[in-house]
Amino acid sequence: MTSHNSSSPTNPGHGENPTHRADPASPLFGRRSLLRGALAVAGVAALPALSACSSSKSGGGSEASNAVSFGSNAAVPEPKGAYQTLFAAAKKATGLDINVNWVDHNTFQQNITTYLQGNPQDVFNWFAGERMQYFAGQGLVSNVNDVWDKIGGSYTDAMKAQSKGSDGNYYFVPFDYYPWAVFYSKSLWASKGYTAPTTWDEYIALAKKMKADGLIPIAFTDKDGWPAMGTFDYLNMRMNGYEFHINLMRTGQGWNTSKVSAVFDQWRQLIPYYSPGFLGLTWQEGANQILNKQAGMMVLGLDQIGTIFTGSNADDLGFFAFPEIDPANGQDSVEAPIDGFMVAKSPKNAAGATKLLEYLGTAAAQQLWLGSNPADIATASGVDTSKYTKPQTAAISLINSAKHLSQFMDRDTLPSFADPVMLPAIQKFLSSPGEASSILSNIDAQAKTIWATNG
Amino acid sequence: MTAATVTGSPTAADAAASAPGRRRRRLRPARAFLHAFLIATCVVWIAPVLYALYTSLRPYADTAKDGYVSVGGHYNLGNYTNAWNEADLPLYFKNSAIITIPALLITLWLASMVAFVVARHSFKFNLLMLMIFTAGNLLPQQAIITPLYKLYITIPLPSWLSDSGHLDDSFFGLILIHVAFQTGFCVFVLSNFMRTVPNEITEAARVDGASEWRQYRQVVLPLCRPALAALATLEFTWIYNDFFWATVLMQTGSNRPITAALNNLTGQFFTDNNLIAAASMIVAIPTLVVFFALQKQFVSGLTLGANKG
């Protein structure tokens, strides 16, 4: 009986007890049709997949000199559209078909090592500074000296220096960049009669005044972790100078010194003026405090806050250089992260990659890409600046006034040090400012281990 | 205890008299506390989803002005249409189907065969095999990714299976790793379930002359339907929701599954959380459909194995 009853589902027509079968029958039917539907979907889905395989294979595999593959980190709609316009123009100018692999920014960045070892595209998005030199040093990218023979004339020496590996070869073609500064709402400042401070004492005095006026003096947020690095970089460059800062970033030596602990002492003076609950706020919330005139000023990059001040608000965005602390250093350094392109170790179409980069290195290409984007500026000289917004024009003069350009902490130091060590260390400092000395000795110990294993 | 006192006083008069009182008795502190606890837990679980749903109905400009914890402004489905078009969701749903459905079917098929052998025969290596399968399942994915990736980029595949010519960056490679990783758990569950099927059934089938294959396919497998349905629900959710393998082992952005498409809405710095909330709502739908379609089997599958020891 048991065996008969149990084996009946194999043979549905054979069931002799209809009342017994009635109960499971309806869900069974639903499940079956669902499974059948799923199989149909799988079948339908598999067909275009196979045809897609063959079509994209013919695209990527064609060694003809008119196709270049491009690994983009701009899958998000806004820069993606700008890149699509740019690549269409590049096809017109160079005759190259550009096959793009769109990947989102964070995934691209996190997977860069595996990406470069696997099957990378000929040309890909990347950053200047140590981030670039690290992969150049590992031999995972090709040099682009022949591109620079053509485009070299339209770049400043500071820009050239940021595009070279430690062996003196060029590995990077700059495209767009933006400065870090202290941003504010011009209309708010005009109504309150504030003026931009140039020294630390004026900066603190202004913050006090804003607090008395019922504003949040400094919009500061640290949920994301990385925006706080900008404040550290500026404090360090203003107090200890550019050379010290860059050596600290590149070598990882000297974290547990009085010079660095003085930076954290200085930083502690700012904390009372920060947004309430800043450890739980994202930079977007902080930037909205500026936009909504709840907060007075904010240390951030134009590329970030420029996406908040858009449209009619674009020209309301004002900024000033991070104030001077030590007159010996003045305001001579500007943090200006540069984005651009690199070429993979063994591109399928090296000549095409060079040709594409020669085009992307021109002011015309960069201006086309920028379009109405108010958050970045072009790296090549010869751009029609009349199309820039006021903040963009001001950004150019800020950067041109600088003696040194830094790239931001997470681009100037080892990738394995910036986010895993410094990001949580700064968060810990901000939540318990009294423990700076133990935090610094901890950073120092980890830096030693990381640089020892990275040679 | 409560039940005992209520039913323990059996006179009819008492029962009639206490009928209105019984309702009051139910509202004892313990019971009130239980309900308060259940409601609170329910709210804690549902709140994030409702919050995301609420956010997804509001345009970014309103929440940027008033903050996310606010009422008022516009409410519309604009984020949904934007998410559907901008994130190219149909393409990524297709990719997810290409990966999830074969992986799911192959996993269940292979696991049921291993489970059949482990459960219906008493070979000496059975326990060892089961231990290896379960142990493999406990291994964290992140721990093996580096050697696995090196393997993937060195194993060649014919070009009709993979654009890159390697296991890496191909649908086949992704399906393979899901099958490899999920089979262990499925074997564990299915073999436990198959042990509850009485031995007499297969003995009877053997007496009737059924081969090993036929016993598996026509006797044991149909009996495992509840367990298979339960596993199918779980495995579908796991494979569908996978982000780790998909991002590491698939370099071509347009071949990644739906979870990666969600990330495509995240900018380098700027993130439109309202848009992402809307996209997340859309992406969650297939899991819900599978769950509700299979939920009856899901529940009976979980309990069937428990009470038939």
Q: Do A283 and B269 touch (CB under 8 A)?
A: yes
Query: A53, B163: Cβ pair inside 8 Å?
Result: yes
Residue of B nearest to A3 (CA): B201
**pLDDT score at A32:** 53
List chain A residues with CB under 8 Å of B98.
Answer: 42, 45-46, 49
Residue window 102-121, chain B: list those with CB within 8 Å of chain A: 102, 105
A289: nearest Cα among B61, B71, B275, B65: B65
One-letter amino acid of A393:
T
Q: How far A434 CA sits from the closest chain B CA (Å)?
A: 31
User: Closest to B163 (Cβ–Cβ): which among A45, A60, A284?
Assistant: A60
Q: Out of A6, A41, A284, whose CB is closest to B97?
A: A41
Q: Nearest to residue A283, comparing CAs of A207, A337, A223, A350?
A: A223
**12-51 in B: which are within 8 Å (CB) of A?**
none
Chain B CB contacts of A61 under 8 Å are 159
| Nearest-angstrom CA–CA distance, B139 and A135 | 31
pLDDT in tens, A225-265: 899 999 999 999 999 999 999 999 999 999 999 999 999 99
Smallest Cα distance from A256 to chain B, Å: 31
Please state which of the four CATH numbers 1.10.3720.10, 1.10.357.10, 3.20.20.70, 3.30.420.10 is assigned to the domain occupying B82-307: 1.10.3720.10
A43 contacts on B by Cβ (under 8 Å): none
Is B267's CB within 8 Å of A46's CB? no
Chain pair A-B, CB pairs under 8 angstroms? 144
Provide the token pair at B280: 């997340």
> A9 vs B223: CB contact, 8 Å cut-off?
yes
What pLDDT, on the 0 to 100 scale, is given for residue B23?
53
The percent of residues in chain A predicted with pLDDT above 90, rounded, is: 64
Q: Where are the alpha helices (DSSP H) in chain B?
A: 2-7, 12-26, 29-56, 60-66, 78-86, 89-120, 126-138, 141-154, 171-195, 199-207, 212-214, 221-223, 225-241, 244-249, 258-263, 273-307
**Chain mean position to CA B49:** 17
pLDDT at A206: 96
- Phi and psi based region of residue A244 (left: phi greater than 0; alpha: psi -120 to 50; beta: remaining): alpha
Q: How far, in Å, CA of A106 to CA of A84, rounded?
A: 20
* Position A62 pLDDT exceeds 60: no
Q: What per-residue confidence (pLDDT) applies to A109? A: 87
B218 to chain A: closest CA residue: A10
* pLDDT tens, residue by residue, A340-374: 999 999 999 999 999 999 999 999 999 999 987 88
Mutate to test the interface with A, among B213, B247, B251 (most CBs of A within 10 A): B251
CA distance A40 to chain B (A): 10
**Measured between CB atoms, does B270 come within 8 Å of chain A?**
yes
- Nearest CB to B263: which of A6, A104, A308? A104
Domain assignments of chain B as residue spans, ordered by start: 82-307
Are B253 and A303 inside 8 Å of each other by CB? Answer: no
Instruction: Name the residue of chain B whose CA is nearest to A26's CA.
Output: B296
Q: Give the closest of B101, B153, B161 to A42, CB-based.
A: B101
* Interface contact flag, B271 A284, Cβ < 8 Å: yes
Residue A9: per-residue pLDDT: 36
Best of A41, A58, A119 to disrupt the B interface (most B CBs within 10 Å) is: A119
pLDDT for position A375: 86
Q: Pick from B142, B269, B271, B295 the residue to mutate for testing the A interface (most A CBs within 10 Å).
A: B269
CB nearest B223 (choices: A6, A34, A60): A6
Domains within chain A, CATH numbers bracketed: 67-175+338-382 (3.40.190.10), 180-335+407-453 (3.40.190.10)
Which of A44, A50, A53 is the best residue to mutate to test the B interface, defined by the most B CB atoms within 10 Å of its own CB?
A53
Identify the pLDDT of residue A130: 86
If pLDDT is split at 50, 70 and 90, which confidence band does A417 have? Answer: very high
Local confidence pLDDT in tens for the 309 residues of chain B: 334 344 444 444 444 444 444 555 557 888 889 999 999 999 999 999 999 999 999 998 888 888 888 888 889 899 999 888 888 899 999 999 999 999 999 999 999 999 998 888 888 888 888 888 778 777 888 888 888 988 998 899 888 888 778 888 899 999 999 999 899 889 988 988 898 888 888 889 999 999 999 999 988 988 888 889 889 988 999 999 998 899 888 888 889 999 888 888 887 778 888 999 999 999 999 998 988 888 777 666 555 554 444
Judged by CB atoms closer than 8 Å, whether chains meet at B159 and A57 is answered as yes
Cβ(A360)–Cβ(A173) below 8 Å = yes
How many Å apart are CA A348 and CA A390, to the nearest integer? 42
User: What is residue A10's predicted lDDT score, i.e. its pLDDT?
Assistant: 36
Rounded to the nearest integer, the mean pLDDT of chain A is 85
Q: What is the DSSP string of A125-180?
A: EEESTHHHHHHHHTT-EE--HHHHHHHGGGS-HHHHHHTB-TTS-B--EEEEE--E
A213 pLDDT above the threshold of 50 = yes
Position B25 scores a pLDDT of 57
For residue B248, give how far its alpha carbon lies from the nearest alpha carbon of chain A (Å).
7
Nearest to B201 among A3, A54, A110 (CB): A3
Report, as an integer, the average pLDDT of A325-348. 94
Tell me the C-alpha to C-alpha distance, in Å, between residue A219 and each of A133, A183, A234, A263.
34, 10, 16, 20
B98 touches chain A (CB under 8 A): yes
Residues B116 and B221: their CA atoms lie apart, in Å, by 9
ipTM: 0.72
